[in-house]
Amino acid sequence: MTQMNPSSDLARALTRRLTVLGSTGSIGVSTLSVVEHARANYGAEALPIEALTAQSNVQVLAAQARKFRPQRAVIGRAELLPELKQLLAGTGIETDGGPAAIVAAADMEAELVMVAIVGAAALPPALAAVRRGAILALANKECVVAAGELFRRTLGASRATVIPVDSEHNAAFQCLEFDQHHAIEKVTLTASGGPFRDWSRERMEQVTPEQAVAHPNWSMGAKISVDSATLMNKGLEVIEAHVLFALPAEKLDVIVHPQSAVHSLVTYADGSMLAHLSAPDMRTPIAHALAWPQRMNGPANRLDLAALGRLTFEAPDRERFPCLALAEACLRAGGVSPTILNAANEVAVSAFLDRRIAFYDIARVVQATLDADGSNIAHAEDLETVLAVDARARATAMGLCRKLAA
């Protein structure tokens, strides 16, 4: 590829060091492909890697480390550290293992941290990166849902910047005029509707994990693919938007848009509606976040509107997709209910993927876990309380899954 001559501002942005938390997942792999593309276009020294972390895929992590030469590679499951050490012997790359080592990796000096871990497990490392004032390219949504207040307060007390990578939030971020916050009437997140958009409830009662992870427009990790099929993903995203953009529930809306070309819309007081469009490819929001506030060449296909022909929109069906309504109710209820919602959903999705419960049981388990919470904890503003509420909800949800599986 021919070397581009970037503006000096972009050249400077691309000297920032990058840590990728969750480098072996769908977003992690896409992030490294954007880095490779940047190096092909702007020079081999673009976006040097500080640390790579993964949970259990030690082979892929070691191969990535050999290729991208980070200072450190970290495996979450500490029992796999000897294997990682062996695979990286002689490279000079530091190795470490265990959840605390992932937090320590987030705490290293990289100016940019891609948070691509799945689930609320991303919370401790994400908070560490926020506290030391990094720029977070934030793909993970569960940490924001589980700990909204804590996340917002920690961010407010730091020099950190969050650039959302979740496609809808990245799209809204690009359309939002932050100094006109008072004039924002509404942010509308689009949803593809998932693989079961036009299925009857009866038919959906029977769906298998294979059917649920086969998303029509996006290729993603298993957990978010199931969330997209239940529309819990969109519910989590409404809560994520509430936290990231400081907007009340009344100003957040969801619309089903099966072509996944428009990712979000922002409506202003004067009646203007700004939309963000791109091909459904996560490498576009990733490239935006890694170059921000500059723009770099991205590897994704460009959207061909003439080939697409038409864009359609329809209201979501909250009866066939009760998870969306559950999440919206948790946003309105506030307090610890989003923490419980997220924890119960993580447990239920995992049980569904293991074929222990049925598709609609996901919503049943989440609803029953919310109903069962007899705690007197109304707010969770510190990490220990968030983790305690999360752990109790997980235990309740696991018990419910066991009963349903029996």
**Residues at the interface with Mg ion (CB under 5 A):** 166-168
d(CA 65, CA 331): 40
Cβ pair 105, 74 in contact under 8 A: yes
Residue 176: contacted member of ligand NAD, Mg ion, none (CB under 5 to 8 Å, by partner type)? none
Indicate which of ligand NAD, Mg ion, none lies near residue 113 (CB less than 5 to 8 Å, by partner kind). Answer: none
Minimal CB distance residue for Mg ion: 166
Minimum separation from the CB atom of position 403 to ligand NAD (A):
25
Closer residue to ligand NAD (CB): 199 or 218: 218
Listed residue (102, 117, 136, 113) closest to 50, CA to CA: 113
The token pair that represents 234 in the structure block: 């969109």
CB of 140 to ligand NAD, least distance (A): 4
The CB-of-162 to ligand NAD minimum distance in angstroms stands at 14
Contacted entry of ligand NAD, Mg ion, none for residue 282, CB cut-off 5 to 8 Å set by kind:
ligand NAD
174 binds, among ligand NAD, Mg ion, none (CB under 5 to 8 A by kind): none
Nearer to ligand NAD, 6 or 125 (CB): 125
Q: What's the closest the beta carbon of residue 397 comes to Mg ion, in angstroms?
A: 23
From residue 140, alpha-carbon distances to 26, 329, 361 in Å are 12, 21, 24
CB of 69 to ligand NAD, least distance (A): 19
Task: Choose the one of Mg ion, ligand NAD, none that binds residue 28, judging by a C-beta under 5 to 8 angstroms depending on kind.
Answer: ligand NAD
Residue 102: which of ligand NAD, Mg ion, none does it interact with, CB under 5 to 8 A by kind? ligand NAD
The site partner of 238 among Mg ion, ligand NAD, none (C-beta below 5 to 8 Å per kind) is: none
User: Long-range contact list for 368-376, CB < 8 A, 24+ apart?
Assistant: 368/396, 368/400, 369/340, 369/343, 369/344, 369/393, 369/396, 369/397, 369/400, 370/326, 370/330, 370/337, 370/340, 370/341, 370/344, 372/396, 372/400, 373/336, 373/337, 373/340, 375/336
Q: Answer for the pair 50, 17: CB distance below 8 angstroms, yes or no.
A: yes
Q: What angle do CA 308, 313, 353 make, to 5 degrees?
A: 90
CB of 205 to ligand NAD, least distance (A): 25
**SS3 state at 190:** strand
Phi and psi angles of residue 300, each rounded to the nearest 5 degrees, phi first: -75, 155
Beta bridge partners of 184: 268
Closest CB to ligand NAD among residues 102, 244: 102
Would you say 134 or 368 has its CB closer to ligand NAD? 134
Nearer to ligand NAD, 260 or 267 (CB): 260
Minimum CB separation of residue 186 from Mg ion in Å reads 18
Residue nearest to ligand NAD (CB): 25
- Residue 60 or 358: the one with the smaller Cβ distance to ligand NAD is 60
Q: Which is nearer to ligand NAD, 220 or 296 (by Cβ)?
A: 220
CA distances (Å), origin 365, targets 237, 338, 346: 20, 14, 10
Residue 73 CA: distances (Å) to CA of 27, 29, 50, 79, 195: 17, 15, 9, 15, 36
Taking the complex as a whole, how short is the minimal distance between the CB of residue 47 and Mg ion, in angstroms? 23
Question: Interface with ligand NAD by CB under 6 A: which residues?
Answer: 22-28, 54-55, 57, 76, 102, 116-119, 121, 139-142, 166, 218, 220-221, 223-224, 282
Which partner in ligand NAD, Mg ion, none is near 142 (CB below 5 to 8 A by kind)? ligand NAD
Looking at beta carbons only, is 6 or 28 nearer to ligand NAD?
A: 28
The option from Mg ion, ligand NAD, none interacting with 188 (CB < 5 to 8 A, set by class) reads: none
Measured CA to CA, the distance from residue 158 to residue 17 in angstroms comes to 19
Cβ 292 to ligand NAD, closest distance in Å? 17
Helix (H) or strand (E) holding 163: strand 161-164
Q: Which is nearer to ligand NAD, 23 or 264 (CB)?
A: 23
Q: Where are the alpha helices (DSSP H) in 53-208?
A: 58-68, 81-87, 99-106, 123-131, 142-146, 148-156, 167-175, 201-204
